[in-house]
Amino acid sequence: MYDRRSFLIGGALTTLAAGLAPRMAFARAATERRFVFIIQRGAADGLATVMPVGDPAFAGLRGAFAEDAAAATKLDGMFALHPSMTNAAQLYRQRQALFVQAIASPYRDRSHFDGQNVLETGGAAAYQSRDGWMNRLLGLLPQDGARAIAVSSTVPIALRGDNKVASYAPSALPDASDDLLQRVSMLYQGDAQLHALWSEALGTRELAGDLTRNNGQNAAQTGALAARLLLPTDGARIAMIETGGWDTHSGQKGRLAAQLKGLDAMIAALEQGLGPVWNDTLVLVATEFGRTVAVNGTGGTDHGTGAAAMLLGGSVKGGRVLADWPGLAPATLYEGRDLKPTMRLDDLIAGALAGHFALDPARTGAALFPAIGKGAPLSGLVA
């Protein structure tokens, strides 16, 4: 029922949401460790990001894309990092970045919607679960009574579940004046329910501050905003940032370079904004699936399978690439067209989070990914 109380609550939160950066979600827990999940919606081309330059078939299969290898950062004898990711390359040299190649969720078809659902829910198949693995992670961490905060028109699937999340949708309305906010606070003073909701909304507004102007559309600004929300002692501890534009069916070379440059700027802003807290931070970058090995007729790639993932942060045991490399020879490709996945994304996530938050790996894997059976969380990923 939509009564006067609902109207007042909705109006108050909408007013405070004016200018808040969209497509970010945050949650609070009683820990000094921070975790950020950056999802690449659209299936990012891992072969162009973490390039297997040491594979003899790479140059021939990738054509003009392989030209980027000349300016790429050499990671080891097999792999090189796309030249757009200069900040990530520096983190790699500082042993604060770890790249994973030929990895995938359990999903093996090529639908964006289904693939993203599997990635976010942690299920073995699409729409198998209604809640997300990030929400289930909250249940493993010490709680301080604060609800999750989603700065988005909707709460991402990864954060949906039993642990409550409040959503603050972006709005085109002008910011409310301090005088108005004070008057509304006085109005709600005698109502326990409204006063509690209003106080929470004011806290979110104060935490976000001026960095929320212009909807945070710039990648660096988005990273800076996320850092500002994660930095305070009483701030968020879990964040999800949604990025799009990775579906490069045509004109990929220039488009992907721009996408990766934006991602790199976002990561750099996170590191800079968090300062010393970066040492207690883990950042995961992952996509729903990879792209085809061969380039199509329009200078792009189509939906694939095996992909690349990244772990970054001061707590990461970086300076290395993890890969059980399957090769790019025709006989080794998945269904004759895709990079064959040889590592499980679920095991990477469970192992990284267990190490980062000092949780039991088996319990973490079972809680985050209950539908996939007994997994084998990877160890030694973080300090």
Instruction: Place 44 in a pLDDT band, splitting at 50, 70 and 90.
Output: very high
Quote the radius of gyration of the chain (alpha carbons, Å): 21
Q: How many residues does the chain have?
A: 383
For 136-172, b/e burial (b = at least 16 CB within 10 A) is bbbebbeeeebebbbbbeebbbbbbbebebbbbebbe
Report pTM. Answer: 0.83
- Each residue of 203-255: pLDDT tens digit? 555 444 333 344 334 788 888 888 988 888 878 888 888 888 899 999 999 99
For the chain, list the domains and their CATH numbers.
4-372 (3.40.720)
Residue 21 pLDDT grade (very low, low, confident, very high; cuts 50, 70, 90): very low
**Token duo for residue 41:** 């919606």
